[in-house]
Amino acid sequence: MSLTPEKTVLLESKARDIRRSIVEMLIEAKSGHTAGPLDMADIFTYLYFHALKHDPKNPSWEYRDHLILSNGHICPVLYATMAYAGYFPVEELKTLRKFGSRLQGHPHREWLPMLETSSGPLGCGIAQTVGMALADRINNGRSSSKQFYCLVGDGELDEGNNWEAIMLAGKEKIQNLTVIVDRNNIQIDGFTEDVMPLNPLVDKWRSFNWHVQEINGHDFRDIDRAVGEAKSVFDKPSVIIAYTIPSKGIPEFERKFEWHGKPPTTPEEIKSALDAVRTLGGRVTNSDHS
């Protein structure tokens, strides 16, 4: 289903709510990651409220699409999006990282069964998703209607295990697999191109027999076009390299790698973050997840 102007406005409002909740969660928890969750809010919003086949009332629905989060440390955006989509109460978001909470600092499937995987160790998600997609092919053939999405950070592409899985997916021509790379150019120790240069990233993926697209990760029309194109490719897997702004929505934090792995904690940081996200816009209802 293509994006209408009305649906785009809805998605923009949902993303604002999600960003606001992410900041409030992190401040309450006093720990967690800021940059990645905020910069991926638009992509998660698009997937859960437009692209994915899923049912919050029946999380194990046999015919659902599968979304695997590889860089599990950005789970505040996953939790917030799932809460707004109706998987659990929005109020539960305030329990992030608290003792006994289902919302741990990395996703834990046994505690939150609607998750597809537990994640935390970087470099595993693509391999897990390739395995799931191949198992689905064995069970349902190449005509399966399921889509498999794997979201990864650019920094974790330093991990060699990813490239083994990328090579296998290209060899097997897994056409219903789409990897979305958060190309925010930062990781915990600095900028990616200083720590371990990834470029030419596009050429690398193409050399492994993947269909490659580059997008603005904050433009819903661009995201929609790329996801639609990926679904139309039938002879290879797809990767969407999404260029994003770390800590998107909080101008004082944006593009600073120091916010990769810390929350706002000082009074000045908390005020800057809350002032920024509380001026983003109004709340919408939680019920529209189609």
233 sits in the region (left: phi over 0; alpha: psi -120 to 50; else beta) called: beta
- pLDDT at 281 (0 to 100): 54
- pLDDT at 12 (0 to 100): 95
Give the containing element (helix H, strand E) for 220: helix 220-231
Three-class SS state of 59: coil
- pLDDT at 280 (0 to 100): 73
- pLDDT at 174 (0 to 100): 97
Task: Provide the residue-wise pLDDT of the chain in tens; the chain has 290 residues.
Answer: 588 999 999 999 999 999 999 999 999 999 999 999 999 999 999 999 999 999 999 999 999 999 999 999 999 999 999 999 999 999 999 999 999 999 999 999 999 989 999 998 899 999 999 999 999 999 998 888 999 999 999 999 999 999 999 999 999 999 999 999 999 999 999 999 999 999 999 999 999 999 999 999 999 999 999 999 999 999 999 999 999 999 999 999 999 999 999 999 999 999 999 999 888 754 433 333 33
Q: What would the pLDDT profile of 39-57 be if each residue is shown by its tens digit?
A: 999 999 999 999 999 999 9
- pLDDT at 113 (0 to 100): 86
If you compute the radius of gyration of the chain from its CA atoms, what whole number of angstroms results?
A: 18
Is the peptide bond prior to 200 cis by the omega test (within 30 degrees of 0)? Answer: yes
- pLDDT at 287 (0 to 100): 33
- pLDDT at 285 (0 to 100): 34
- pLDDT at 89 (0 to 100): 97
The two three-digit tokens of residue 9, written as one number: 């406005």
- pLDDT at 141 (0 to 100): 85
Strands, E, within 128-262: which ranges? 148-153, 177-183, 186-187, 190-191, 211-216, 238-243
**b/e 62-87 (16+ beta carbons within 10 angstroms → b):** eebbbbbbbbbbbbbbbbbbbbbbbb
The CA distance from 27 to 93, in Å, is 11
Domain boundaries, the chain: 5-277
Q: End-to-end alpha-carbon separation of the chain, Å?
A: 10
The CA distance from 276 to 20, in Å, is 9
Paired sense of beta strands 190-191 and 177-183, if any: unpaired
- pLDDT at 290 (0 to 100): 33
Neighbours of 249 (CB within 10 A): 24
Q: Which fold has domain 5-277?
A: Rossmann fold (3.40.50)
